[in-house]
Structure 1
């Protein structure tokens, strides 16, 4: 798993339309909160995304863009995004899952996909990283909020 204070990885993912999305594209413009769902079928993860959607305006006001990463294929991700009217880009991996790229590998003999979140500031530095095997623990809202609050207090380099 990534560590706060470390440089963000060079993530290259795809959105539900097949467009390339690079984490580096946000550098110098916005902080990015990546929420990694266990699967689009996970009801707990869907509630977490709903919470992010309900707070989208507040996050945008803090210059934070939300990206939702799923281990599902692009067609499944696109159908889920449309059905639930997800206001954020939903991303899939080009090779493997987005989760593997940040250290959220499967646990319990490869049967259980971990979920979590990563907040990267506009300078490309990880400010928050959290992962969990149980979906109820994968969304660290308090930790995310504290890290976003800290963004405003961090002077420019």
Structure 2
């Protein structure tokens, strides 16, 4: 898993339209929050995405762009995004899953995909990184909000 304070890795993901999205590519722009869902069928993860949707104005006021990363392929991700009316870009891996690319591996004999979140400031530095095997622990709302508040205080916007 990525570490707070380290530079964002040069990982290239893909959105549901097939456009490349670089985790390290937002330097000088806005901060990026990526929520890594266990799967699009996970009811707990879907509730976490709904919370992000409810908080989108608050996050936008802090100049944070939200992304949702899923382990499914682009076609499945696009269908899920449309069905759930997710307003954020949904990301998939180009080779392997986005989760594998940042160290959110499968645990418990390879049967449970980890979920988590990463906040990258506008300078390309990781300000929050959290992962968990159980989906109830994968969305650290308090940690995310504290890190987002820290962007303003620390100038990492």
Whether the TM-score (by the shorter chain) exceeds 0.5 is yes
Query: How far does residue 147 in structure 1 lie from its aligned partner after superposition?
Result: 0.5
1:132-147, aligned counterparts within 5 Å? 132-147=132-147
The residue matched to 1:24 in structure 2 has which SS? coil
**Structure 1, residues 113-134: CA drift from partner, whole Å, max 9, x if none?**
0000000000000000000000
Please state how far the C-alpha of 1:25 moved relative to its aligned partner. 2.8
Distance 1:105 1:92 in 2: 15
Shift of residue 155 of structure 1?
3.7
Aligned to 2:30: 30
Residues 96-115 of structure 1 correspond to what in structure 2 (within 5 A)?
Answer: 96-115=96-115
User: In structure 2, how many angstroms separate the alpha carbons of the residues matched to 1:3 and 1:54?
Assistant: 27
| Residue in 1 that maps onto 2:39 | 39
Q: How many aligned positions are there? A: 156
5+ residue gaps, structure 1, are none
* Runs of 4 or more above 4 Å deviation: none
1:149 aligned partner: 149
Q: Check if 1:54 corresponds to 2:24.
A: no
SS at match of 1:122: coil
